[in-house]
Chain A
Amino acid sequence: MGVNAIINVNDVNFYYGNFKALTDIKMDFKKNLVTALIGPSGCGKSTLLRLLNRMNDLIDGTKVEGEILFAGQNIYAPDVDPVEIRKKIGMVFQKPNPFPKTIYNNISYGPKLMWNLSKSDIDDLVEQSLKQAVLWDEVKDILNKSAMNLSGGQQQRLCIARALAMKPDVLLMDEPTSALDPISTAKIEELIDDLKKNYTIIIVTHNMQQAARISDETAFFYIGKLIEYNKTGKIFTKPDVQHTEDYITGRFG
């Protein structure tokens, strides 16, 4: 176990029914770094990401082998409540998915479930989270309007703010900018860069430039296997495996 690793994935196999989606995954995610997961479509990036906060529990007929340690504790141990794990490991999805509620209630949803907060505490938390997600200035006058009226990029930042309001240790992001225009994407990349001071971020992306720009470490997957995992600079300049180089340079998809 690395000294500053926050998550250790130890020999994990994962099955959807009989289909083996991940094979012998062994990797550590380091604290306060941005780790990018890359690889062709269907190679299991989302599956791995969703394993880290037990979102795959929601799908019937799945099976996990091996262990995943979060802060030293196996999150797949029988006595662990997935709900507790999800409070500490937040998630942002590919498609912005704010609740059909007001902006304010989107942010306060999670904290209200978790803590007994006074109205003013919640107000503060909403403001703080929206500021962290660089959305505050755009929405501070319309907190009581439906989140559904925001643009896609604003909705995605709202979803990030909503995850941050839970004060998680880790933020999982599954292609958070794939549905957004370049300007919103740039905003979110900036945001990620800012957030890594306080959070560990694991991000799935199909955009090689994005992985190179924002991540410290990069892992390349192919058909359910971890092919290469190293510092982003190394992966994008002199990868050890030919396969990785072919993928990054676009020689195969």
Chain B
Amino acid sequence: MNRRQKEKLIKAIFFVFALISVVILGLIVFSLFREGLPLFKKVNIYDFIFGLEWYPTADPPLFGIFTLIVASIIVTIFATLIAVPLGVLSAVYISEIAPQVIKEILKSSIELLAGLPSVVLGFFGMVVVAPWMQETFDLPTGLNIVNASVILAIMAIPTISSIAEDALYAVSREFKEASYALGATKFETITRVILPSALSGILTAVILGMSRAIGETMVVLMVAGGAAALPESIFDSVRPMPASIAAEMGEAPYRSAHYQALFATGIVLFFMTMAFNLIADYISNKFRQVGSGTL
């Protein structure tokens, strides 16, 4: 076999491996739709998405997932509000300010945080945060929006922090030197040169963090409380989509309407995360830094 043939063969092998993941993705999406779409023969799509009542086992059953969608969106937004400042500021601190030793310690603790299984975090939310919150604020339950958002934020911080950190590192040294040479302080350089230059990367980090939060299942299953009702306060229990799917899938009879409704919920979730990822892609392409000198 000569070299060209070898290279062709190697290319082909890589192509096959790359193809495998695409095929698997395709199969998953296909089965998601195959199991979920038949629901819409029984329930119309508008009632499904905007219906306020989720009584899948009542007679007749009601499949309205609006409260579930709202729950997912609310906990994601609150988690983002908590995680973005913490994640971005820690990234700035790690990449621009911290002395070497502290940098190493912080980086490994954030990596460790990323490595914590979600069930451990959920457990923490259940047995530590929930009772504390219930007592401190005198609530009927500590399993609620705030608790879920905090735990989801803890999960999203490592994602946001590490991607934002990469974006900050990628800001070319030349820009920083130019700023310092003009008599800018470190703080001025960070806020006026480094952060704006890294903006697209930071936005990407935020959106990927959000998509991590919206798809997270175990945490919301354990600490969101599970009430399928529109929340009136941030201390109300909610039932985000992944929690609903995980909790009910085991008891829904195979290919019943309930089973199909859960898959259809999965389809909605799939579109939402896909939207997040597309937005992240779009941002990172659109604002991609134009390189420095065009010499």
Contacts and interface: CB of A to CB of B under 8 A. Distances in A.
Interface residues of B, number: 26
A100 B175 contact: yes
B183 A87 contact: yes
Given A93-B178, A97-B177, A100-B175, A110 B292 contact: no
A105 to B, nearest CB: 9
A100 B290 contact: yes
Interface string A56-100: 001010000000000000000000000110110011010111111
A110 B193 CA distance: 12
A56 to B, nearest CB: 11
B162 to A, nearest CB: 23
Contacts of A117: none
Interface string A9-23: 000000000000000
Interface residues of A, number: 35
Interface in A45-63: 53, 55, 58, 60
Given A55-B177, A97-B175, A151 B182 contact: no
Nearest to B184: A113
Interface in A146-163: 146, 148-152, 155, 159, 162-163
A137 B77 CA distance: 50
Nearest to B176: A58
A109 B177 contact: no
Contacts of A149: 290, 294
Max chain A CB contacts within 10 Å: which of B184, B185, B193, B293? Answer: B293
Nearest to B99: A60
Contacts of A150: 294
B181 A155 contact: no
B293 A110 contact: no
Given A83-B184, A100-B196, 16 more contacts: A53-B181, A58-B180, A93-B174, A93-B178, A96-B295, A97-B178, A99-B193, A109-B182, A110-B183, A113-B183, A113-B184, A114-B183, A149-B290, A152-B293, A162-B182, A166-B182
Interface of B: 100, 172, 174-185, 188, 192-193, 196-197, 289-295
19 contacts: A55-B181, A60-B100, A93-B177, A95-B174, A97-B175, A97-B178, A98-B178, A99-B197, A100-B175, A100-B290, A109-B182, A109-B184, A110-B182, A148-B291, A151-B294, A155-B294, A162-B178, A163-B182, A166-B182
Interface of A: 53, 55, 58, 60, 83-84, 86-87, 90-91, 93, 95-101, 109-110, 113-114, 146, 148-152, 155, 159, 162-163, 166, 179-180
